[in-house]
Amino acid sequence: MTAMRSFDTIGNSREAASAEIAAAGETGAPLEGADASLQADDLAGILYAGLAYAAWGIVPIYWRWLANVPPFEITVHRVLWCALFVVAVSFVRRRSTHLLSLICNTRLLATLTLTSILISTNWLIYIYCVSSHQLVEASLGYYIVPLISIALGVTLFSEHMSRLRLFAVGLAGAAVLLKTVEVGHIPWIAPALALSFGFYGYFRKRANVDAMDGLTIETLILFPFTLALVLFWSVSGMGAFRLSHPSTDALLILGGPLTAVPLAMFAAGARRIRLTTLGFLQYLAPSITLTLAIFGFGERFTWLDAITFGCVWTALVIVAAEGHISRARTPRLRGSVP
């Protein structure tokens, strides 16, 4: 669902970095590794990143097992148990002192408070999509994220947008318009997922903190509220935890590691492979989710859906092709790796 600088030398550094924030899948994990665009791909890195994206693609199966639990309650437990898990991992990694220094940075803490709200909102919407059988809409949202990142780069970073990229963003807008025609009202799920994750990436990009440390602080910020809610639900007999089948309790608890472990794999992979490779791999998760929604969960995929996704896929191909052409025309710096 991590901040980094791209090595694009001709005016596209911020745009490349912001576009690749989308590589985090539904966890909202930011990228790491300042020189990742220069290194050769490592097989282990491809494997780590591929497994992370595959996990994010099939994770709806897990949330479907909790269909008897409301999405908001699942999200609360996800934050709670993820916080406990990553804190334990931080102790093992001996990051406690470093985390305390980060928490004492009031500006950083304010930024991570905002990102914790954004990513929790993103998680809530995603789980709602699973429970309400709208995974096709969710996958569309994550396909749109890179285009949202480009738009944010232009509006917030005053980056230049070429005519091709302007056309690509226009295609994404046309896709949302087609979806509006199909459902008869303004669709909110795909734009909400894309915007919450896009702004999460924007603010996370401004926070100088790595993936696991950032996730630890983000979940700790919400930990007191989630703990209070779980305790209240348990005492009042309103929640699912400890009041339903033990398997439900186990699934809620394991939702924490399920959030953190793919993030760790992703961070390990991101440091070992190039940004271009990571950019291609990022579409693995929504592609798996879309396939699962149609053939696994039997969700409806109409001809208007096909046109909508066709617009978005065409836009992504245009952006990828233009980026490849721009890199090919860019003079290689001395010492760079082919």
More confident residue, 100 or 41: 100
Q: State the CB neighbour count (10 A cutoff) for residue 97.
A: 8
Closest CA to 15 of 194, 157, 196: 157
Worst-scoring range by mean pLDDT, 115-119, 170-174, 181-185, 267-271? 181-185
Separation between Cα atoms, residue 178 and residue 158, nearest integer Å: 29
- Which pLDDT belongs to residue 169? 77
134-193 per-position pLDDT tens digit: 998 888 888 888 778 777 777 776 667 777 777 887 887 788 777 777 766 667 888 899
pLDDT over threshold 60, residue 253: yes
**pLDDT tens figures, 180-232:** 777 666 678 888 998 898 888 788 878 888 878 889 999 999 999 999 999 99
Beta-carbon contacts of 230 under 8 Å, excluding residues fewer than 6 positions away, are 76, 77, 80, 239, 241
For 293-315, the pLDDT digits (tens) are 999 999 988 888 888 888 888 88
Classify residue 294 by its DSSP letter: I
Q: What is the pLDDT of residue 186?
A: 67
Contact 27, 56 (CB under 8 A): yes
For position 331, what pLDDT does the model report?
53
Under the banding of pLDDT at 50, 70 and 90, the label for residue 44 is confident
